[in-house]
Amino acid sequence: MNKKYFENYNEPEFLYQMLGRLESDCKYFLGNGNGAEKHLWALSVDNQISAMKEIYNKLEEKPEWLSLEQINNYEKEMKDKLSEKSINTNEINNKDSTEQIFTKIYTELKEEMLKEDNTIFVKEYEIPSKNYSKGVNFDLWFASGIEMQLYQMMKEFEDKVFFYSYKDKYFFSNSEQKAKEVMLKEVEKETLKEQRAGRLKRRNREVR
């Protein structure tokens, strides 16, 4: 924060222009820049604010369009944005990627198929239609893509494993009838829940 960027610059016109550029960076950082410090001229929030304050203090005639209080507000908002981004990144890193979920499904289904007791099994998994991979790059999966991948996976089991889905829940079984039956029970359960929620909303509106 003690670094001096503009020690050798005293021309007001240049300093005003530079201050405007630095403020534009702050606005972009808070908006479309999505909190990425690489978009800042000084490459970090602390250094950017330090540079802005250095120029502001250097100017004898202060700009009408920017005050020291506003610079402090930018600092707070930008640091809040960094904290928010850090929390979101941790949440993303803590989620299983879609590929990890598929690997888990394949491994557990293979274990079931290797059993020699011929019992009917049902396995339930949740595969979010929008799922995040490790890091900050989004790995987007939509229902059609998920199901295409699953159909390919079922070929590995020589079409002896079947699946049915409802919303983000997928039900696998070595009995097609059983997989369908479990899925229909889930549909019924969710439908009843939605109906109850709808009735409760109507009652609340009537009470008002």
CB atoms within 10 A of CB 87: 10
- Provide φ and ψ at 166, rounded to 5°: -140, 120
Whether residue 83 contacts residue 36, with contact meaning beta carbons closer than 8 Å, is answered with: no
User: What's the confidence (pLDDT) of residue 118?
Assistant: 79
User: What's the confidence (pLDDT) of residue 180?
Assistant: 94
Whether residue 22 contacts residue 55, with contact meaning beta carbons closer than 8 Å, is answered with: yes
Going from the C-alpha of 123 to that of each of 19, 40, 146, the distances in angstroms are 61, 50, 17
- Number of Cα atoms under 13 Å in the Cβ half of residue 147: 13
Q: Which run of H or E residues covers position 109? A: helix 98-114
Residue among 71, 49, 63, 37 nearest 1 (CA): 49
Whether residue 26 contacts residue 75, with contact meaning beta carbons closer than 8 Å, is answered with: no
- Look up the pTM and report it: 0.47
User: What's the confidence (pLDDT) of residue 116?
Assistant: 74
Residue 165 pairs in a beta bridge with 170
Distance (Å, whole) CA 149 – CA 106: 11
User: What's the confidence (pLDDT) of residue 83?
Assistant: 85
CB atoms within 10 A of CB 187: 13
User: What's the confidence (pLDDT) of residue 139?
Assistant: 42
Q: What are the 10-residue block averages of pLDDT along the chain, 208 residues in total?
A: 76 94 94 87 91 94 95 94 70 58 89 85 83 40 68 86 89 94 92 82 65
Sign of the torsion angle spanned by Cα atoms 151, 154, 159, 160: negative
Distance (Å, whole) CA 171 – CA 20: 58
User: What's the confidence (pLDDT) of residue 92?
Assistant: 45
